[in-house]
Chain A
Amino acid sequence: MSGEPILELKGLTKRFGGLTAVNDVSFRVAEGGISGLIGPNGAGKTTIFNLITGVYKVTQGSIEFKGKPIQDMEPYQVVERGITRTFQNIRLFKNLTVFDNVLTACHMAARYDLGSALLRLPRFRAQEKVLREKAAALLDIIGLTDRAEVTANNLPYGLQRRLEITRALALDPQLILLDEPAAGMNPDETVQLMKLIGELRDRFKLSVLVIEHHMDLIMGVCEHIHVLNFGCSLADGTAAEVANDPRVVEAYLGTEDSTCTC
């Protein structure tokens, strides 16, 4: 584990009516690190992502990003602060081309207002050029340049995942939340993805928080892991520590007769 925490959850609780989806969860994500958030289905992992990004409103507790509370912000404000995410079930702009998906997300780098857009002022043209170059550069880094004009919907599954990550990167995040990035991928694609996550972290100076069920991916890339079960924190530590924790083995992998492999 390295450095100060970039993200800190303190006593985070979320109730939906009578159901407590997340109960008093506290953990930290180290700056520049890759952290994992694991737990059985229904443990509240994605709910925590939705809380961090402002999609859900926090019932109790606080979320601090770089020392400042963000729990009362709208999603777009959270993104402006430097947090972005991908989704468990890929959510691309399906009918747009790969390039336009990324270009749309580049909008935060644009410095022109509606008026100059409507009148096509020189400022607009210059800024649009910058955006296009930025989108093209990102596609180049990820290796999607040759598919730039393909409609997102027609991409193979693994590349759709990559595109979603690219779109997230276009927002210049400092912290990126990946929700089951390897879901539905074959082992080969998973290995490539692991490599990609590591590379991106180094290249873009990112901190990463990843939800995953593929234990090999989690154990392979995460420096720090937090385990949830039924909305509560169960364990916290390095991959080796967590893997050997009997409570985790029981909750996550099940007892001897369990069939849960997810």
Chain B
Amino acid sequence: MEYILGIFILSAINLVAVLGLSVLTGFTGLFSFGHAGFMAVGAYVSAIVTARCGLPFGWFNYVIGILAGGLAAGVVSVGIGRLTLKLKGDYFCIATMGFGEAIRLLLNNWKWVGGARGWESIPIYDGLAKIIPFVIAAAAVVFSWNLINSRQGRNMVAVREEELAAQMAGINVMRTKMVALVASAILAGAAGALLANYIGFIAPKTFNMVKSTELTIIVIFGGLGSISGSVIGAVLLTILPELFRAFSEWRLVFYGLAVIVIMVGRPKGLIGGQELTPTGIRKMLAAGKAKREFAKASREGGGR
């Protein structure tokens, strides 16, 4: 039971980071391969707050750690954004990759936080650590949903769809990208903080490029431009490797296979661009019906 709960907690933590990346990649169209860097900032800041600052607030330290972790990642992202958001497409992606690695190497060499060996004995808030991740995950879903369905969210989608036209629709493209980046960094930072105080041990290599790539894979797997897709993707792709744990090394092969099968079968991801709301489902069904009818019509047309 404990083990299953643990998997769900890890899903919830992953979900928070994935939602952040979903806002940036799925809705604003900026691919990042350095989000583990923001998670690392959140994790280490939270660890410092809870383990080193000697705050007297008991369990409330945990909450302060999460807030501080998210905030710190947000602040870092403002600097990174200033430097890199002017870059187009792939170049931005490469810059984020560099950022992620830079953070990891920095932590590798910082002895005060354990260096490359990692940092043990970070306070774990028993009991609370089993609830807070779900609360934060739920809040993250609500906030990202509200963001996407507001004018700022629509501006993000406009930037993704057609940057020049977005400019001519009076959208401040730089600012919109910055809001997306900061929002996603805050969520990634909060996820890092949750992770640190759930496992109690963090090391720079926890936040390497494999982690960044994993987050991006989940977003694409779930479907770009879909909050519900990101939720399903995060839960599924956290549970899946655990299910196959019996196969030890082979489980990563299954993981890879599952991703490939989905991407070949559904190039837009599980539910790209759609949402699992009553209206969204109705739309999807209508589109599917139209597609089948079209296919049927063209088959019959071909038979003539």
Q: State the A residues within 8 Å of B (CB).
A: 53, 55, 74-76, 79-80, 84-85, 87, 91-96, 100, 103-105, 107-108, 110, 112, 114, 117-120, 124, 128, 131, 167-168, 170-171
Contact = CB atoms under 8 A, between A and B. Distances in A.
Contacts of B162: 91-94
B239 interface: no
A105 B147 CA distance: 17
A84 B167 CA distance: 10
A104 B147 contact: no
Interface of B: 143, 146-147, 150-155, 157-158, 161-162, 164-173, 179, 225, 273
Given A93-B162, A119-B146, A100 B154 contact: yes
Contacts of B146: 117-120
A128 B179 CA distance: 20
Q: From DSSP, what is the main secondary structure of chain B's interface residues?
A: helix
A114 B152 contact: yes
Given A87-B164, A118-B147, A167-B169, 12 more contacts: A53-B168, A76-B167, A79-B168, A80-B170, A91-B162, A107-B171, A108-B170, A112-B151, A114-B147, A117-B150, A117-B152, A119-B146
Contact of B157 (A92, A96, A112): A96
Nearest to B170: A79
The 9 closest A-B pairs by CB, nearest first: A117-B150, A79-B170, A91-B165, A93-B161, A75-B167, A107-B151, A104-B154, A105-B169, A76-B172
6 contacts: A75-B168, A87-B168, A92-B165, A107-B151, A107-B154, A114-B147
A112 B153 CA distance: 13
A92 B150 CA distance: 20
B165 A76 contact: no
Contacts of A167: 165, 169
Given A91-B165, A104-B155, A104-B158, A76 B147 contact: no
Nearest to B287: A151
A153 to B, nearest CB: 10
A105 B157 CA distance: 12
Nearest to B150: A117
A20 to B, nearest CB: 23
Nearest to B143: A118
A231 to B, nearest CB: 22
Nearest to B168: A85
Contacts of A103: 154
B179 A107 contact: no
B85 to A, nearest CB: 14
B71 to A, nearest CB: 15
B158 A76 contact: no
